Amino acid sequence: MTASITDPVNDLADSRFAMLPYIDELRSADGLSHRLGFAVRPRRIRVKPGQSAIVAWQRDEPGHLGEFADWGFTAVMTSPDKLANARRRAARHGQDLTVHEAADPRSAGATGAVLVSGGVLADPRIGKHVARTLDHLGGDLEIIGYNPARRLLLKHTPIDGVPEIVRIAAESQIHLAEAGQRWQRADLPSLPVEFVGGRDTSTRSPWWGTGDLRDRPDPNIAEEVGVIIAELHRSAAAGEDGRAIDSPLAQLETVNRSLVRLLPERETVVAEMLAELSRRLGSSRELREIHGDLSPDQVLLANSECRIIDLDRTGYGPAGVDLGRWIAACRVDQVLNGLERPFLDGYRSAGGEVVDPGAWTTWAMLVAALEPWRSCSATWRDETKRIVDLARTALDENVPTTQVAS
């Protein structure tokens, strides 16, 4: 199938950062809808500068063709081999790929890039895993999250009416199941994880609770989460089962390369913060079991109980990673301002001691600074500038430094 468009591709900051054509269209609801011929909202974009880009989209108005017709992807591909492989994979599952042709061949640039669209089942990396998983699921399915070429989240309600969440990923989820087992052994509140259909790329967990802490901020629950995380940090030292997380400073360097290209006006201040963080966090040697992506929206609620979910980044790392991520989430999202102090109070009451929270909060904010861009926000520039400025303020905080209790 082939579609065409007469408008040339804009050469704006996004395209210069990605070193690929079409990027501005992918992040624009109007541009993407024009390409596809129906109204959609871009949900999440992933870019490998100079190589590829892919965005997940969702229809504005659900149709009558089923849940999987309302979500899809559009990708920039620069390799003819990858395009041929993607077509073969899609065809195996009865899916079509649309190759969009630009009226002006120069819009593809020197990369020879083409723009390709398809449904979730044609996703170049997870489509086959989705198809295999669907063979083991009956009842109703609802897509609740789609990170293109990486993962798909489904709410599955079997015929017996007991709902569950199904996670389908491009790579093995053995580490997620192992993390769930460690949390259960330590009596930490999370959810059981089981594989679907004997394949380690798909997992299921019970659908639990009535919402999360981001939507229903509760200081008492935040304090309890602080206690739980202190217990987690004491539960095991590095060297036991589990995996080490990527170096926090290495994570920051990776994000920084994209950040300074998209926001060159903040390059100097970001460079200064990186130098300071290297000095203050470079001595973090003691590794503990951590959640790795802790924030209020990872905490499910049911009355006065909670469960902490999304353990896919759990591993061994500095305890400050969890503290910094929680504080950063509470400061960036003003709705959550009242959850920072109760969390820290609970953490300290359970024996945890905070090590340079200003530096770890700055680290967490910078690591997440491009989230508005990745989620295709039209106001990402102002949002990211605000996050960078908040990070600068956090770095100046003077808090006594101690060690995490063992």
Domain positions in the chain: 2-119, 130-206, 211-395
Mean pLDDT, residues 15-21 taken together = 80
Q: How many CB atoms lie within 10 A of CB 361?
A: 29
Contact indicator for 164, 205 with CB cutoff of 8 Å: yes
Tokens at residue 274, please? Answer: 């990186």
Residue 236 scores a pLDDT above 90:
no
- CA distance linking residue 297 with residue 291, whole number of Å: 13
Residue 237 scores a pLDDT above 80:
no
pLDDT level of residue 10 (50, 70, 90 thresholds): very low
Dihedral in degrees, nearest 10, Cα atoms 243, 353, 403, 275: 80
Mean pLDDT, residues 237-253 taken together = 76
Matching residue, tokens 């309600």? 157
Q: What is the percent of the chain with per-residue pLDDT over 70, rounded to a whole number? A: 88
H or E segment to which residue 48 belongs: strand 40-48
Query: Taking each helix axis from N to C terminus, what angle separates 380-395 and 357-367, rounded to the nearest 10 degrees?
Result: 160
Residue 93 scores a pLDDT above 90:
no
Please check whether the domain covering 2-119 is classified as CATH 3.90.105: no
Question: pLDDT at position 405, please?
Answer: 41
Tokens at residue 241, please? Answer: 């089962």
Kindly state the DSSP code that residue 319 receives in the 8-state scheme. Answer: T
Residue 19 scores a pLDDT above 80:
yes
What's the mean per-residue pLDDT of the chain? 88
Q: Is 183 exposed, middle or buried (0-12, 13-18, 19+ CB in 10 A)?
A: buried
Name the residue with higher pLDDT: 67 or 119.
Answer: 119
Q: Which is nearest to 294 in space by CA: 257, 249, 245, 259?
A: 245
- Of 2.40.50, 3.90.550, 3.40.50, 3.30.200, which CATH number belongs to 130-206? 3.30.200
- CA distance linking residue 23 with residue 75, whole number of Å: 9
Please give the C-alpha separations between residue 50 and each of 13, 26, 64, 106, 251, in angstroms, as whole numbers.
14, 15, 38, 16, 20
pLDDT level of residue 252 (50, 70, 90 thresholds): very high
Contact indicator for 41, 93 with CB cutoff of 8 Å: no
Q: How many CB atoms lie within 10 A of CB 103?
A: 10
Topology agreement, domain 130-206 and domain 211-395:
no
If you average pLDDT over each of 6-10, 109-113, 303-307, which comes out highest? 303-307
Question: pLDDT at position 5, please?
Answer: 35
Question: pLDDT at position 108, please?
Answer: 52
Over residues 266-289, the pLDDT tens digits come to 999 999 999 999 999 986 667 899
Residue 4 scores a pLDDT above 50:
no
What are the residues whose beta carbons fall under 8 Å from the beta carbon of 8, sequence distance 6 or more? Answer: 102, 103, 104, 107
pLDDT level of residue 397 (50, 70, 90 thresholds): confident
pLDDT level of residue 107 (50, 70, 90 thresholds): low
Question: pLDDT at position 9, please?
Answer: 34
Tokens at residue 49, please? Answer: 């500068």
Residue 104 scores a pLDDT above 50:
no
Over residues 45-85, the pLDDT tens digits come to 999 888 899 999 999 987 655 678 899 999 999 988 889 99
- CA distance linking residue 127 with residue 168, whole number of Å: 9
Q: SS3 for 332-397, per residue?
A: HCHHHHHHHHHHHHHHHHCCCCCCCHHHHHHHHHHHCCCHHHHCCCCCHHHHHHHHHHHHHHHHCC
Question: pLDDT at position 300, please?
Answer: 98
H or E segment to which residue 2 belongs: strand 2-5
Kindly state the DSSP code that residue 95 receives in the 8-state scheme. Answer: -
The answer to whether the Cα torsion of 55, 363, 339, 154 is positive or negative is positive
Mean pLDDT, residues 22-39 taken together = 93
If you average pLDDT over each of 92-96, 257-261, 328-332, which comes out highest? 328-332
Residue 23 scores a pLDDT above 50:
yes
Tokens at residue 314, please? Answer: 């759990």
If you average pLDDT over each of 158-167, 228-237, 397-406, which comes out highest? 158-167
Mean pLDDT, residues 345-360 taken together = 95
**Domain covering 211-395 in this structure, CATH number:** 3.90.1200.10
Q: Which is nearest to 179 in space by CA: 9, 366, 312?
A: 312
Residue 11 scores a pLDDT above 70:
no
Q: Which of 3-12, 145-154, 231-240 has the lowest mean pLDDT?
A: 3-12
* Amino acid in position 145: G
